[in-house]
Amino acid sequence: MRARGARRIGAAALIALALGCGPGRPSTGPGAGGAAGPLQRVGPGEGAVSIVAWAGYIERGETDRSYDWVTGFEKQTGCKVSVKTAATSDEMVALMNEGGFDLVTASGDASLRLVSGGRVQEINTALVPGYRTVDPRLQNAPWHTVNGRHYGVPYQWGANLLAYNTKVFPKPPGSWNVVFEKMTLPDGKSNEGRVQAFDGPIYVADAALYLMFHDPGLGITDPYALDSRQFEAAIALLRRQRKIVGRYWHDAVAQVDDFVNEGVAASSSWPYQVNLLKSKGAPIASVIPVEGATGWADTTMMHVDAPHPNCAYRWLEHSISPKTQGDLAAWFGSVPAVPAACEGNALLGPKGCDTNGAGNFERIHFWRTPVARCGEGRECVPYHEWVTRYIAVIGGR
């Protein structure tokens, strides 16, 4: 899921990305994580590590001096951290295709594309001692574990929340219908033009989740495994929604501005935006409605040709230290991948993990790349069709 200035990807590029990440191939580059297998020992650092990340995921105290998990790492290791912010999973895939980066904080709708496309290498978890402290529900999660091999280190997780203006909604909205169906909101005004939707094909799953609750006759049991009938129903809902959407958002900071200055009443959002808005004193709150929510469990993955593999492994270990995990969770509003981070962190506080939704794991349908063969002999609509059809929806077609 998450920054100003991020470049947009054209429709043709999105379609190419949806079809895969390019031909898989063994690596002969510095990372040596391809045919030769994962790194076997961590050697001297190369002096740098470059990371593709969601907005707000890697802070060095520039926004708030209290939130800095980069400066200490650089002093301790001599590895200078550079960050390229990406606004969508598709942009992350594109950047990893281009190469030149060491790591990426990939969500589940990108991670397996990166694995199948040969863009990331297997991780030797023995070289990441903190891996044993990761939440057991995440250690072998299917979005980064293939045939028993780990292709990343879990980072943070959370839900795609329903953010709302408390002046418009004196009581929390109980359903996602406020952003999917045309209606009069509690302030007596229409929601037309006052709601937003996520600018990414994976948002089709949000529509499917809504229908799973409200139209059980469709038989949807997994919002990422849709047969043609279920998929067409989701697209039809998104077309209706198009008539009330004021903006499709992908830029987290721009969405903050929209809530403050453009009269947005409700939208899907991330905890990051909600926290920023609250820090500005804006009348904003968030909720997971009755239907549940989609969400993200992000994984730090290493490029198959990582130019700085030794510094990258040092960052992987640093990324799951309880201090880093707790500070990040406090800043972003996410849940640590390391449960120990929920204890004794001054920024997060004693109830920070509960506030951020640690108890919602079972209510979240985590992002996953849709595939054609979706289990139990079913044929489902693959991701490249999600891309082309969602582009058409946004374009009013």
> Structure tokens of 309?
């593999």
* Cα distance between the two ends of the chain: 26
Q: What domains are defined for the chain?
A: 11-157+297-353 (3.40.190.10), 159-294+369-394 (3.40.190.10)
pTM, 2 dp: 0.85
Q: What is the pLDDT along the chain (397 residues), one digit of tens a residue?
A: 333 233 333 433 444 444 444 333 333 334 444 546 899 999 999 999 999 999 999 999 999 999 999 999 999 999 999 999 998 899 999 999 999 999 999 999 999 999 999 999 999 999 999 999 999 999 999 999 999 999 999 999 999 999 999 999 999 999 999 999 999 999 999 999 999 999 999 999 999 999 999 999 999 999 999 999 999 999 999 999 999 999 999 888 899 999 999 999 999 999 889 988 998 999 999 999 999 999 999 999 999 999 999 999 999 999 999 999 999 999 999 999 999 999 999 999 999 999 999 999 999 999 999 999 998 899 999 999 999 999 999 998 8
- Exposure letters 41-67 (e unless 16+ CB within 10 A, then b): ebeebbebbbbbbbbbbbbbeeeeeeb
DSSP string, 167-184: TT-SS---STHHHHS--B
What does DSSP say about strands 284-287 and 161-165: parallel, antiparallel, or unpaired?
Answer: antiparallel
Contact 234, 204 (CB under 8 A): yes
